[in-house]
Amino acid sequence: MKNVMERMEEIGAKRKIADFQVKQKLPYEFKIPYAYRRAYEFAEECDKRGLNCHVSVGGLDSLTLYLWLQSIGIHVPGISVSHLEDMSIQRIHKQIGINHVPPIKRQDGTYWNKSSVMQEFGFPVISKSKARKIKCLQVPDNPKQTFIHAIMTGDMGEQGGYGHSSKLKLPDKWLKLFGGLYQEHRPDMLCQAAKFKVSDRCCYYLKEKPCDDWAKENNSVAYLGLMASEGGQREMGLMKNGCNYFGKSTIRSAPFAIFNRQDLLQLALELSVPVPEVYGVIKRSEEGLLYTTRAQRTGCSFCGFGIHLEKRPHRFDRLYQDNPKEWEYWMYRCVTDPETGEQYGWNRVLDYIGVGWRPETLEMEIARQKPSKKKKVLVG
């Protein structure tokens, strides 16, 4: 069996990644016609294969993609599981005619919703890739012991060429909070076990599966508003596979793959994209960088991926300002502890990972984290 490095070499991954990174550094004036060519190449190839196309629409990035495709003559429907988004995003979806995709049914005939997915599988926190690892660490007597050892130590077995992977290993910060069931793998530090479940499965049941089902029913493949510059697990896939990908089980186009945040916001301004209120407005800083005055990125209103990286006011603070009733539900009673019957929510999770969330501490924490003018950095 080939190890990871041998498989990477086989597909020429290093060369593809290097070429992609060069394109990322090119100016906006190059990227727009480049995206234009990729978008039309995808449409033409899909037409040859007898496939329809659509845009998977969520927040500002994919709203911009949808309206940009319309502006260059690629008129395809936009679809979204809109009820997962912030209310201001839902209003824009309705305004521009995005098609709503219904939720999927469970085996008992009821429909999956935000609460049922979190109750069944766990909270989406930290990042999708790290949540997947934590989920493995929360399974008692997990048969995947080689994978468990790699998560705890970074040491890989035969399949990984007996190497060490810092990417595969969960950082010690999180192992201390979630590695308690497998303490024996790390006798050098004390690990705990959380009193709540963590999972990466929300996206699958609430977003990916409903959209995939719609796509199959309509013989359609997606344009996605993904950018490698956002990082995370999508970054490597975009770098290796490029803007347009025709695989055995996945066909997709990401015309904005080489864009950065500045490119996206510049295009949104040029197209006069309606900016949902959750983002605020697009402005330019004294340094010339474009930014949104409220949220920089959004997702499902209850999602916690990346929350530990946000300064206050973070997404849950904005939810409190915009919709106090919804905030109260997600904070205190969205799930039930199966052992005690106690209702709880993000309050337990955020306290455990050390993220502030209480309204009464907001001003104090903002004052404490406020940088000096010299060190101030505006995220574009």
Apex CA 341: angle with CA 338 and CA 345, to 5°? 80
Report the alpha-carbon distance of residue 92 to residue 201 in Å, rounded.
Answer: 27
* 274 closest CA partner among 59, 72, 81, 33: 59
Domains in the chain and their CATH numbers? Answer: 4-109+202-276 (3.40.50.620), 114-185 (no CATH), 279-369 (no CATH)
DSSP 263-326: HHHHHHHHHTPPPPGGG--EEE-TTS-EEESS-SS---TT-EETGGGPPSS-HHHHHHHH-HHH
User: pLDDT of 157-204, one tens digit each?
Assistant: 666 666 788 889 999 999 999 999 999 999 999 999 999 999 999 999
User: What per-residue confidence (pLDDT) applies to 380?
Assistant: 35
User: What per-residue confidence (pLDDT) applies to 162?
Assistant: 66
* 229 closest CA partner among 288, 297, 165: 297
User: Other CB atoms closer than 10 Å to residue 243's CB: what's the count?
Assistant: 24
* 202 closest CA partner among 123, 109, 106: 123
Is pTM beyond 0.75? Reply is yes
Which two tokens mark 58?
Answer: 């969520």
- Which range has highest mean pLDDT (7-11, 13-17, 297-301)? 13-17
Percent with pLDDT over 70 in the chain: 92
